[in-house]
């Protein structure tokens, strides 16, 4: 079953200068996939298009077979969630509980249901003991998990994460990746990760989509991408200090 299908996608910010062209792929429900490419390749633009924040100039984006352009903001939130690179871009409330509850509060979900869903999500994210803490007391890795929790609480079917491990030490890196693997396997959430990290791609995903200058140049296993010199060069995957 297809979770996210992109058909001949085209987008430009300025007319005549395409930032993405002929982008097409089909991600099945329950897959965990990487999207890789150099800075400026078009990855963030692609995630914003997938989330319906921008409209494609041409082509379609289907979530569970439904065109994202035709979904309401509420429906979209239930189908797809985007976790931005920095938790500081995402976190706007001083208290952890309020932050994770925010999306549901805005939608007018009843107080009792909010409490139930927030507590359940905090448990899944290993943040329940901190439910009454201020966000400012958390480590960077824990803040990252708060930003993931604030998206997960909306019950998305597809979760997109922009550089989920950026700026984190090995312990937090492992913690976050094991957590994402766990929600992918146990909750059946489709996970799409934008990453520059070769080890993360190899260890946690079976498939990677490579974008270069707005074009899709590969959709293959991480191992095959890394052994094709031309593609590997264009994918611009960096070795991390993971095994150094």
Shortest Å distance, C-beta 54 to ligand ADP: 9
Asked if 177 and 203 count as a contact pair (C-beta separation under 8 A), the reply is yes
Q: Tell me the window of 36-44, 114-122, 143-151, 195-203 that interacts with ligand ADP (CB under 6 A).
A: 36-44
Asked if 7 and 63 count as a contact pair (C-beta separation under 8 A), the reply is no
Q: Which two tokens stand for residue 216?
A: 């899709």
Q: Which two tokens stand for residue 18?
A: 């395409």
39 binds Mg ion (CB under 5 A): yes
121 binds ligand ADP (CB under 6 A): no
CA–CA separation, 120 and 128 (whole Å):
8
Task: Give the position of tokens 């995957």.
Answer: 237
Please give the radius of gyration of the chain, using alpha carbons only, rounded to the nearest integer: 18
Binding ligand ADP by CB under 6 A: which of 3, 4, 9, 19? Answer: 19
Shortest Å distance, C-beta 243 to Mg ion: 26
Q: Which of ligand ADP, Mg ion, none interacts with 81 (beta carbon under 5 to 8 A by kind)?
A: none
List C-alpha distances in Å: 157 to 4, 31, 47, 160, 192: 10, 11, 15, 10, 11
48 binds Mg ion (CB under 5 A): no
Q: Alpha helix (H) ranges present in 155-197?
A: 170-187
44 binds Mg ion (CB under 5 A): yes
Q: Which of Mg ion, ligand ADP, none interacts with 140 (beta carbon under 5 to 8 A by kind)?
A: none
Shortest Å distance, C-beta 42 to Mg ion: 8
Which residues of this chain interact with Mg ion, rule CB under 5 A?
39, 43-44
Which residues of this chain interact with ligand ADP, rule CB under 6 A?
13, 19, 37, 39-45
């Amino acid at each position: 079953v297809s979770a996210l299908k992109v058909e001949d996608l085209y987008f430009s910010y300025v007319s005549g200068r395409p930032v993405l062209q002929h982008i097409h792929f089909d991600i099945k429900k329950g897959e965990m996939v990487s999207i890789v490419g150099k800075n400026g390749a078009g990855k963030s633009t692609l995630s914003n298009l997938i989330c319906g924040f921008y409209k494609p100039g041409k082509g379609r984006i289907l979530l569970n077979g439904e065109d994202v352009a035709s979904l309401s903001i509420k429906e979209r939130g239930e189908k797809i969630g985007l976790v931005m690179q920095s938790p500081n871009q995402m976190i706007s409330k001083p208290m952890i509980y309020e932050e994770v509850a925010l999306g549901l509060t805005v939608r007018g979900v009843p107080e009792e249901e909010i409490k139930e869903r927030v507590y359940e999500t905090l448990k899944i994210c290993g943040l329940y003991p901190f439910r009454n803490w201020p966000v400012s007391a958390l480590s960077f890795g824990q803040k990252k998990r708060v930003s993931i929790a604030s998206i997960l609480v909306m019950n998305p079917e597809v979760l997109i994460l922009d550089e989920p491990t950026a700026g984190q030490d090995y312990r937090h890196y492992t913690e976050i990746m094991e957590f994402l693997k766990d929600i992918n396997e146990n909750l059946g959430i489709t996970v799409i990760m934008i990453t520059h990290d070769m080890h993360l791609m190899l260890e946690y995903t079976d498939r990677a989509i490579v974008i270069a200058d707005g074009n899709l140049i590969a959709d293959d296993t991480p191992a095959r991408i890394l052994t094709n010199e031309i593609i590997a060069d264009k994918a611009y995957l960096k070795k991390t200090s993971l095994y150094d």
